[in-house]
């Protein structure tokens, strides 16, 4: 990180990939130095002349040459980020936040549950896990999007399966491509919200740790299901979002009941949040 945490460092856009009609992935490289981060941490990205917004790293933390963020277009900064072209410069501050506590869970089974753009930090987590695949037990991913065209990282799921990750995809509403298209032969034909995938997987809550990221309603129902299955609150990790400014625990914008999402999170064990009304 730069010695002044408020000062963005310059990064070049190396590649822009359209993942879906709503999401683009930017591959970035710092003009000076390397970006060293943990899966689950985030950065503040400045589109010059427009503004700054937080995004989690979506690429492997083991690749120090470049890094990626996957951005859903929702407003001014994300809209401007979608217009960026290869070779343009952006500002980046970070990495910020805590990241996923992987060292604690070597030898365990891991369950990863993602909804919508919430899959972005979980992709970084998956790359970190498969880089040390033999260190972990069973590795399962449940990922849902609203429709087949909104499933992102489409060309990567089979590669994760080859690395002994069980991948289960679902969409809220299917179409022809979902039933017969590229996903059909691989068995990706499930329709229903992401929690309906729990009926397809065998889990051992005694041994398993869950990592969850997605829209608040999806987090709420996923946590409920995990608790029903017997997961202890201490082994359910949530990656949360709040409005942010500084990213450093100074401005107070991201406060939830005494915790700063930018500094104490964005990854929280549910144990820390369970007594807070409306934590997600």
Ligand X SMILES: Cc1cc2nc3c(=O)[nH]c(=O)nc-3n(C[C@H](O)[C@H](O)[C@H](O)COP(=O)(O)OP(=O)(O)OC[C@H]3O[C@@H](n4cnc5c(N)ncnc54)[C@H](O)[C@@H]3O)c2cc1C
β-bridge partners, 72: 23
Nearer to ligand X, 231 or 237 (CB): 237
The CA distance from 194 to 191, in Å, is: 9
For the segment 29-48, give every residue that binds ligand X (CB under 6 A).
Answer: 42
- Least separation in angstroms between residue 68's CB and ligand X is 10
Interface residues with ligand FES (CB under 6 A) are 244-247, 249-254, 260, 262
Which of ligand X, ligand FES, none is residue 3 near (CB under 5 to 8 Å by kind)? none
Q: Which tokens is 162 given?
A: 């080859």
CA distance 61 to 26: 15
Residue 56 contact among ligand X, ligand FES, none, beta carbon within 5 to 8 Å by kind:
ligand X
- Segment near ligand X (CB under 6 A); pick from 8-16, 75-83, 191-199, 217-225: 75-83
In the complex, minimum distance from the CB of residue 250 to ligand FES, in angstroms, rounded to a whole number: 5
79-138 binders of ligand X (CB under 6 A): 79, 117, 120
In the complex, what is the shortest distance from the CB of residue 56 to ligand X, in angstroms, rounded to a whole number? 4
Which residues, 213 to 272, sit near ligand X by CB under 6 A? 241-244, 266
Question: If contact means CB under 5 to 8 A according to the sort of partner, which of ligand FES, ligand X, none does residue 204 touch?
Answer: none
Q: How far apart are the first and last CA of the chain?
A: 29
Nearer to ligand FES, 13 or 272 (CB): 272
Residues that bind ligand X in the complex, under the rule CB under 6 A: 42, 51, 53-56, 69-72, 74-79, 117, 120, 241-244, 266
């Amino acid at each position: 990180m730069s010695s002044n945490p408020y000062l963005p460092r310059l990064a070049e856009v190396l590649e822009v990939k359209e993942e879906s009609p709503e999401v683009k992935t930017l591959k970035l490289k710092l003009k000076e130095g390397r970006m060293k981060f943990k899966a689950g941490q985030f950065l503040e990205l400045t589109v010059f002349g427009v503004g700054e917004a937080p995004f989690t790293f979506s690429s492997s933390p083991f690749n120090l040459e470049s890094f990626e963020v996957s951005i859903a277009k929702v407003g001014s900064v994300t809209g401007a980020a979608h217009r960026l072209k290869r070779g343009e410069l952006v500002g980046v501050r970070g990495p910020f936040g805590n990241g996923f506590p992987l060292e604690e869970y070597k030898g365990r089974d891991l369950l990863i549950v993602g909804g919508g753009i919430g899959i972005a930090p979980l992709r970084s987590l998956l790359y970190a896990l498969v880089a040390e695949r033999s260190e972990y037990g069973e590795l399962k991913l449940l990922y849902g999007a609203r429709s087949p065209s909104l499933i992102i990282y489409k060309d990567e799921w089979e590669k994760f399966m080859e690395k002994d990750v069980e991948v289960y995809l679902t969409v809220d509403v299917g179409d022809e491509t979902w039933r017969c298209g590229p996903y059909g032969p691989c068995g990706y034909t499930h329709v229903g919200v992401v929690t309906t995938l729990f009926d397809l997987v065998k889990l051992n809550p005694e041994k398993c740790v869950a990592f969850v990221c997605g829209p608040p309603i999806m987090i709420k129902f996923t946590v409920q299901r995990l608790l029903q299955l017997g997961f202890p609150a201490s082994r359910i990790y949530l990656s949360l979002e709040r409005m942010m400014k500084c990213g450093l625990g100074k401005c107070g914008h991201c406060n939830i009941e005494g915790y700063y999402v930018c500094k104490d999170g964005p990854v929280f064990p549910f144990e820390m949040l369970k007594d807070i009304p409306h934590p997600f």
